[in-house]
Amino acid sequence: MDAPNKLLPGQISSPSGRLRLDYAAVARLAFPFMLNSAVQAVLNATDTWFVGRLSPAATSAMGAVYWPVLVFILLFGGVGMSVQTLVAQAYGGERGARASQAVWTALWACLFTVPAFTALALAGSWIFSPFGIAHGTLRLALDYWFPRILTAPFAIALWSLLGFFNGIGRPVVTLRVTLCVAVVNAVLNQLFIFNFGLGVAGSAWATAAAQFVGVGLGLAWFLDQANRDRYRSHLTARLRLRPLLRQFNLGFPMGLLYAADILGFALFQLMQVRLGDVDGAATQIVMMLTSFCYMPAVGIAMAGTTLVGQAIGAKAPDWAYRVGNSIIVLAVIYMGMIGLLLAAAGTWLLPWFTNGADPQAALVAARGCTLLWIAAGYQLFDGLNISSGSCLRGAGDVRIPAIMVLALSWSLFVPLAHMLSFKPGGGWVDWLPQFGLGAVGGWSAALAYICCLGSMLYLRWRSGAWRRVVLPLN
């Protein structure tokens, strides 16, 4: 097996001199990633819980725009997502200044997105009006949309800074920042929604303010003396067009991959909202609850991005393959187990996210319990999807996976969800068959999609095609 002169993170040498995987070291790296992703899930749950105290219509409205917000952040924020990959490979190749340059390049790119997000914030009514959302729900959705998308550059800046610490294998710093963001977000949700009377818009402003605090904390750690000495983090802030273009060429397909996937789910969520407040609210709550499955799995997968990237930077592709396989196994086992536990606890969990005084609360909880069992069915393949995609990302192999996601999302998931969700005459188009299974049908389409996607990305990883990808680190 090829190997660098010194041991990489996750490597241990046996008495015979053969390199093997140090599972304890991998666990020490992955655990803070998992905790950080779990905190992200708590952030999602916090917003949903506070908005759920208003009404099912408010929860449904939040669900209508929650995924579109993520789509646009990912589409315009791919340069920020590329930071972890570039930093990990620079770290493995012992190029400290190149690692910090990737952060500053992403922050410059973040500034350039401000006009686009401002235009999107103002165009909310034009974007969502064609989807047939009830007038009252649409009004609430636009109240949430405007501040959430207007302040989206804060999220991209935060990703960029945290990607640095993830790439150098210091996810504990990321965890500290994210915990601070979670606490500030919870306090401000109560303050803005209820004390200031801003309603559903208050939740969006609270998220933005909390992310702004996170950016400040991230910058403070990024520019501390240790990082100045090792990574020259204070000397690489100047905008350089050539690295910006290189980072865009890597980051845009990376963001497109996730944006295409989430855009499919955004349309899926809008379909459920069109079905009515019960299906829309139940779907939003189940999406949030299942994040407790996939967000920690994302943490495991992010450890894969870091370890694979560091191995590629150190010119050890065989080791990258071995550690990537181990990460994939860990993610699949975790998601399968937690998915079943979550579904089993559904009857106890669902009522916590509804207003018991609302006449539709019981229907929302009952529908959500059914959907949780369907959602549990795809956790195994979602583990393949998340972990395989993240290992490919660490290797810089993002273009072919992005094409895979685009093809499956738009040729399978979206049309199948439409066909299974709507009754004849109730959907957006009438040239597709319509079977009228409601949210149960829509979630069944999601199950079929994620099974195909997870299998294809795993096969891409196993093929070893990523070994031919070379990123410019100069």
Interatomic CA distance for residues 175 and 436, integer angstroms? 44
pLDDT in tens, 61-85: 888 888 789 889 998 998 999 999 9
Question: Which amino acid is it at 429?
Answer: V
Mean pLDDT of 139-163: 95
Pinpoint the alpha helices (H) of 276-316: 277-313
DSSP label of 426: S
Per the prediction, the chain carries an average pLDDT of 88
- Residues 313 and 307: their CA atoms lie apart, in Å, by 10
Residue 215 tokens read as 């950016």
State the pTM of this model. 0.81
- Distance, in Å, from the CA atom of 299 to the CA atom of 310, rounded to the nearest integer, reads 17
- Name which residue leads in pLDDT, 147 or 261: 147
Instruction: Give the range with max mean pLDDT: 29-38, 39-48, 93-102.
Output: 93-102
More confident residue, 363 or 216: 216
Residue 209: pLDDT band (50, 70, 90) is: very high
Q: Tell me what pLDDT residue 66 has.
A: 84
CA 138/CA 140 separation, integer angstroms: 5
d(CA 375, CA 379): 7
pLDDT tens-digit readout, 290-330 = 876 777 788 889 889 999 999 999 888 998 999 999 999 98
Find all residues with CB under 8 Å of 135, minimum gap 6, and list them: none
pLDDT band at residue 365 under the 50/70/90 scheme: confident
Tokens of 126: 């034009």
Q: Supply φ then ψ for residue 278, to 5 degrees.
A: -65, -55
Mean pLDDT of 171-196: 95
Average pLDDT of span 265-286:
84
pLDDT at 4: 45
Say how far apart CA 143 and CA 124 lie, in whole Å. Answer: 9
Q: Which helix (H) or strand (E) holds 12?
A: strand 11-13
Q: Which residue has the higher pLDDT, 213 or 268?
A: 213
Q: Which residues contact 428 (CB under 8 A, 6 or more apart)?
A: 131, 132, 271, 274, 418
Residues 89, 117: Cα–Cα separation, whole Å: 31
Tell which phi-psi region holds residue 436, choosing left (phi > 0), alpha (psi between -120 and 50) or beta: left
Q: Please, are residues 75 and 155 in contact by the beta-carbon 8 Å criterion?
A: no
**What is residue 3's predicted lDDT score, i.e. its pLDDT?**
43
- CB within 8 A of 19, min separation 6: which ones? 1, 3, 7, 11, 12, 13, 319
Instruction: State how far the Cα of 263 lies from the Cα of 75, in Å rounded to an integer.
Output: 10
DSSP 8-state secondary structure symbol assigned to residue 468: G
Task: Please give the Cα distance from 467 to 470 (Å, whole number).
Answer: 8
Q: Domain boundaries in the chain?
A: 21-468
Asked whether residue 466 carries a pLDDT value surpassing 60, the answer given is yes
The residue that leads in pLDDT, 275 or 412, is 412
Q: Residue 428 class from Cβ within 10 Å (0-12 exposed, 13-18 middle, 19+ buried)? A: middle
End-to-end CA distance of the chain: 27
Q: Which of 244, 322, 320, 217 is nearest to 83 (CA)?
A: 244
Q: Which residue has the higher pLDDT, 72 or 18?
A: 72
Kindly list the distances between the CA atom of residue 305 and the CA atoms of 33, 313, 390, in Å, as whole numbers in the listed order. Answer: 11, 12, 5
pLDDT at 133 over 90: no
- Confirm if 154 and 212 have CB atoms less than 8 A apart: yes
Q: pLDDT by residue (tens digit) across 179-189?
A: 999 999 999 99
